[in-house]
Structure 1
Amino acid sequence: MKASEESTVTRVDKQKRNKHRYNVHLDGEYAFSVHEDLLIKYRLLKGEVVNKEQLQTILEEDEKHRAYLDAIRFIGVRPRSVKEVKLKLKQRGYEPPLIQGTVDKLLDQNYLDDTQFAKMWAEQRVTFNKKGKKWIQAELAQKGIDRSKIQEAVEGIGEEEELTSAEDLARKKWPTLSGEEYEKKRKLYAFLMRRGYTPSIVGEAVKRITGESIEEFD
């Protein structure tokens, strides 16, 4: 970008790799690229004259636009927590104020909601991934979810729902275990504990699979 007060748009080319972005040339030299929405908004057409202040505004708005689109694409793969989006934008090289502004906009538009995210995550993990509440709590904490929201999410998992999850997992694991009956039960108990199920859930799941409670072979 030139240091003169005003510059003239001499050429505008659509990028080959990104059909929504355009390369803008000022006074015969490449100056910057911009999203098509801003190209239209600011009428960056050949022959148009822009000053330094306008250019600065355009570049700042384009960066905000890029950050927003990067976040939307990231969320589009699957729901994300606020912390995950912030980390992704940081990895993309955006500065903290811009990251926070982008997140605030997504929160206002309900694209981000840690309460709903935590509930969805908990339900999905217990039902399809066969994880217990303790495991889920640890995962949500890593994703930056507030403790109260984590508690609300795991409380939404019914005891029978968690027990069914543990029992399903135990039935698949049981035939793969080696050793005497006593040792197999010990291994099954330890396996379920590592998956984040509480001792009471594990004990009941083992009992349903083996016909004996954990106390009976302690």
Structure 2
Amino acid sequence: MAALDTAAVADWIRRFRDVIAEKRDWLTELDSAIGDADHGANMARGMDAVVAKLDVGVPGTVDELLKTVGMTLVSSVGGASGPLYGTLFLRMGMTAGPVAELDGAGLAAALRAGLEGIVARGKAEAGDKTMFDAMAPAVDAFDAALAGGSDVGAASAAAAEAAAAGRDATEPLVARKGRASYLGERSAGHLDPGAASTTLLFETLAAASAD
């Protein structure tokens, strides 16, 4: 796939909702070990609210679609996930602009802006055991794949693989941010739930852009 139009972006969001629903208990299990045990429930509630909005009508431009996702998540998701995921999609929308589709360069710029929004909101760095540890490698891998001549589908697949590797690398880390940081050394030995849900985000992007 060379570009994502609004229908493809909406398909991505719906796929993300579906896999969040499927993995809800797993995400909650991860969060129960080092957090408030609400990540799965919060993300499922937020994504259900997003899809309910899309069922009423999909906005005609990519920026309005992504902003709708972001604003809905901010207003419907509790904990840290709402502001972080909301910021991700709002920044993506602002960068995408009022276009009918995102080509590789446009999607790369939007993803990079979303990552920067997460950093600005959460102040996370590599190794802090947060969603950043999956998001940053994914965005870097997307950029590298594009630079190597890949289309959106192949670049998204590379991003998903990098996100999964970043997620898995959080297991031995001691958390330095968020609720998990209160546990100190006891936070080691567990996957970060935010990195896990971020990986699902990129895996569903790869699936949506492969069709």
The TM-score bracket by the shorter chain reads: under 0.3
Structure-1-length-normalised TM-score? 0.24
Greater share of residues in helix = 2
Structure scoring higher RCO (CA < 8 A, sep ≥ 6) equals: 2
Greater share of residues in strand = 1
Structure-2-length-normalised TM-score? 0.25
- Larger Cα-atom Rg: 1
